[in-house]
Amino acid sequence: MIEFHLDGRSGVSPYLQLVQQVRRALRLGLLAEGDQLPTVKDVVGQLAINPNTVLKAYRELEHDGLVAARPGVGTFVTRTLTDDTLAAHAALRLSLQRWLTKAREAGLDEESIEALFLTTFRTAREDIA
């Protein structure tokens, strides 16, 4: 069982924070198939948030095929995210490090690197979409 927390200053809406926390736990192996997510009442009682927010997060996770609700029992993990991409991480990190070194050599400071990365990331995402 995991415990949720909310960051009031992140600017990310509460329901999305819940979704992200479940996904992260799935990715890191904290949650495995068959594990139960906290009940809506538990989350609500702990975080003082609107039950609809929790329901919305769980619905989204369900829609993504990560969890399944069993009426009257609770919500259970059906699939983990500790997937095969983990193997590819090392190589990708290496090439990213090389890119960063090049950027520094080109005279970009940290802020410029970040801005460049983010804009490229966004345009790339839009292109894919």
Q: How many amino acids of this chain bind another protein (CB under 8 A)?
A: 18
Query: What is the spatial distance between Cα 59 and Cα 45, in angstroms, rounded to a whole number?
Result: 19
Binding to another protein (CB under 8 A): which residues in 78-117?
Answer: none
Nearest CB to another protein, comparing residues 7 and 127:
7
Among 11, 34, 65, 71, binds another protein (CB under 8 A): 11
The answer to whether residue 25 forms part of the interface with another protein (CB under 8 A) is no
The answer to whether residue 44 forms part of the interface with another protein (CB under 8 A) is yes
Residue from 113, 37, 43, 108 nearest 75 by CA: 37
Phi-psi region of 22 (alpha: psi -120 to 50; beta: other; left: phi over 0): alpha
**Is the CB of residue 31 less than 8 Å from the CB of residue 19?**
no
Nearest CB to another protein, comparing residues 25 and 54:
54
Among 3, 28, 29, 50, binds another protein (CB under 8 A): 50
In sequence order, the 6+-apart residues with CB closer than 8 A to the CB of 40 are 51, 54, 55, 58
Positions touching another protein (CB under 8 A) are: 6, 8, 11, 13-14, 40-41, 44-54
